[in-house]
Amino acid sequence: MISKTQIPEDKVIVARDLTKKFGNFTAVDHLSFEVGKGEIFGFLGANGAGKTTAMRMLCGLSKQTSGEAWVAGYDIARETEKIKRCIGYMSQKFALYEDLKVWENIRLYAGIYGVPEKDIAGRTDDLLKRLGFEAEKQALVKSLPLGWKQKLAFSVAIFHEPKIVFLDEPTGGVDPAVRRQFWELIYQAADRGITVFVTTHYMDEAEYCNRVSIMVDGHIEALDTPNNLKQQLEAKNMDDVFHQLARKAKRTEQ
Amino acid sequence: MNAVSANLIGKKYGKLQALSGISLEVGEGDIFGLIGPDGAGKTTLFRILATLILPDEGTASVCGFDVIKDYAKIRKVVGYMPGRFSLYQDLTVLENLTFFASVFHTTVEENYDSVKDIYQQIEPFKNRRAGALSGGMKQKLALCCALIHEPSVLFLDEPTTGVDPVSRKEFWTMLQRLKQRGISILVSTPYMDEASLCDRIALIQNGKFLKTDTPQNIIKGFDSELWSVRSDHMSKLLSDLRLNEGVSSSFAFGDAHHVTLKNGKCNSHDLSVYLDGLKHTNVCIQKIEPNVEDCFMQLSGKNIL
């Protein structure tokens, strides 16, 4: 077992042999990796490879069967409440409340994540200005185009300046131009020191990550920078890398 | 006879113009792709063609039957796989298939051949409840249920959304096999890379078709030279490119930025000199063929600044 003092300060995620079993089925099999501060880390894998299970453990939502992991310096088994305070989370499926106005959504999440009361109004205006959404402050979220919702959802997920933000397929179905604007928001967040942990099925987006891991059958089959992965596998792009590695999957879909 | 033909279809939901001026023709045995983001109107068009809602304007027919007058006939010849998972979660794989067969007054045994290729992949799990299947298997079961009455036209609304690249490739292989059997397919997708697998495509945004043609012709229609630009600092490179007045558009595309230049104002040599001046290292500028996503962004004319 590793103790807290052994976690290097610049590592925001440290996982050692993290494993999760459901009955006889090993969904996540001895996962070991580290993610540095301000890094954009792509977490790729085929459907059913174990990505969601791993992500749920790192967010403190599901307890591991064995192994250990530290997120923002906290133990995922014993300090889940502390972890929840310093992470942000956004997925394609659920992000904002459709029946609340834009400012109400920001207000709600800011409150949940404990942003000081006196700061909320000012920071809300700053955020809307940065996104160019000032005119939509009073609009219901359901009236916004999908791409705007996703940009707003991301901004809300990092409104409390978390140490790390988990993004689960944030750009699925989004317009190509907006998809690129979304990635620019990711870059800005990373430049401010927020670590970004992202899953995606768009392989061009894998190229935007500092490092990428590819999960196959519950374990990490490869982990490196996109350039190194392409060189190692003599692949012309990340799509090719993904196909070469994911083809090794033996586990039949259950 | 075209499998599907639509002429100037329009549809409003309250004040929202969901579709306007939509015309398309899907030839017999063709795969026709509707390519566009969420909210573009793809599902509304499917619902009109599947006779589930009425258009406000225009006419459409499927297999020669009018979507309004002959709606009952259309329902017999069309297989429809809606975007959201459409199966009964509490029924098993086999029960779902049997149910859909009985709705169309047939049986699984009678039409087994038409689903055999795909059904065999999920048959080992035929007694599992549909709700407990993985994403890829649900997709295969839904396709079987849409095929069990031997339709001549298939409507597939975003069958590959949220599906990983390997399973997406498999799914398209299945579609190619259905095409060989003479089934006409209208399929929608937000993944631009799937466009090249279609015979013809329509790029759709905000309820309108930006363009309809073969993927090859759409790419030929890209009306400027396209350059791929790389350096050691891709993020700074993107902002520097946008600051150059000779640059007309610049977008991140995987491991390179795709750039078009203003005619007469800037050429690739000028650009190379400009980037060297800004201390970019390992600058690489190459002329490339555009892809469908480049075309979509050029046609949608959105500026990203």
* pLDDT of res. A102: 96
Q: Which residue has the higher pLDDT, B273 or B235?
A: B273
> Who contacts B108 (Cβ-Cβ below 8 Å, separation ≥6)?
B94, B97, B98, B101, B115, B148
Closest Cα in chain B, distance from residue A120 (Å): 28
pLDDT at A92 over 80: no
Task: Give the angle subtended at the CA of B99 by the CAs of B81 and B186, to the nearest 5°.
Answer: 15
Interhelix angle for A176-191 vs A146-157, to 10°? 10
Look at residue A15 and tell me whether its pLDDT is greater than 60. yes
- Please check the confidence at residue A61 and state whether its pLDDT lies above 70: yes
CA A128-A129-A133 angle, to 5 degrees, is: 50
Report yes or no: A221 at the B interface, CB cutoff 8 Å.
Answer: no
Pick the CATH number of B226-289 from 3.30.70.100, 1.10.760.10, 3.40.50.300, 3.20.20.140: 3.30.70.100
- CB contact (8 A) between residue A48 and residue B158: no
CA–CA distance, A235 with A227 (Å, rounded to integer): 10
Instruction: List the single best residue of B38, B84, B129, B160 to mutate versus A (max A Cβ within 10 A).
Output: B38
Rounded Cα distance between B275 and B244, Å, is 10
Question: What pTM value is reported for the model?
Answer: 0.86
**Which of B154, B178, B182 minimizes the C-alpha distance to B62?**
B154
For residue B254, the chain A residues in CB contact (below 8 A) are 203-208, 237-238
What integer pLDDT is reported at residue A148 of this predicted model? 87
Judge: A207–B255 Cβ closer than 8 Å, yes or no: yes
**What is the location of CATH 3.40.50.300 in chain B?**
4-220
Spell out the alpha helix ranges (H) of B223-287.
234-243, 268-277
CA distance A195 to A209: 11
Q: Is B252 within 8 Å of A183 when comparing Cβ atoms?
A: yes
Is the separation of the CB atoms in B271 and B180 below 8 Å?
A: no
Q: Which residues of A touch B293 (CB under 8 A)?
A: 176
Tell which residue, A59, A178, A124, has the closest CA to residue B303.
A178
Quick one: pLDDT at residue B143?
94
Write out pLDDT tens, residues B132-172: 887 778 889 999 999 999 999 999 999 988 788 888 888 99
- How far off is chain A from B164, nearest CA to CA, in Å? 5
- The CA distance from A18 to A65, in Å, is 8
**Which carries the bigger pLDDT value, residue B148 or residue A5?**
B148
Q: What percent of chain A has pLDDT over 70?
A: 96
Chain B residues near residue A173 by CB distance under 8 angstroms = 37-38, 158, 161, 190
State phi, psi for A69 to the nearest 5 degrees.
Answer: -155, 150
- Parts of chain B belonging to CATH 3.30.70.100: 226-289
What is the ipTM for the molecules in this complex? 0.79
Give the residue from chain B lying closest to A243, CA to CA: B166
Which of B134, B253, B255, B259 is the best mutation test for A, with the most CBs of A within 10 A?
B255
- Among A175, A210, A238, A251, most B C-beta atoms within 10 A, so best to mutate, is A175
Residue A174 structure tokens: 């989004």
The CA-atom distances, in angstroms, between A166 and each of A32, A75, A89, A103, B220 are 18, 17, 5, 22, 40
Distance CA A235, CA B139 (A): 29
For A165-208, how does the pLDDT look when each residue is reduced to its tens digit (9 = 90+)?
999 989 888 888 888 989 989 988 998 999 999 999 899 999 99
Q: What is the pLDDT of residues B213-223, one digit of tens each?
A: 999 999 999 98
Place of tokens 């190459």: B286
Mean pLDDT of chain B: 93
Is CATH 3.20.20.70 correct for B4-220?
Answer: no
pLDDT score at A254: 47
A41 touches chain B (CB under 8 A): no
Q: Could you read off the pLDDT of A203-234 as tens digits, one per residue? A: 999 999 999 999 999 999 999 999 999 999 99
Q: How many CB atoms lie within 10 A of CB B303?
A: 9
Share of chain A above pLDDT 90, in %: 76
Rounded to the nearest integer, the mean pLDDT of chain A is 91
Q: Which residues of B touch A46 (CB under 8 A)?
A: 164, 166-167
What span, in angstroms and rounded, lies between the C-alpha atoms of B171 and A240? 17
Q: Does A243 touch chain B (CB under 8 A)?
A: yes
The pLDDT score that the predictor gives to residue A2 is 63
From the CA of A7, how many Å to the nearest CA of chain B? 30
pLDDT band at A62 (very low <50, low <70, confident <90, very high): very high
pLDDT score of A3: 66
Candidate from B136, B137, B165 with C-beta closest to A203: B165
**Mean pLDDT across A131-143:** 93
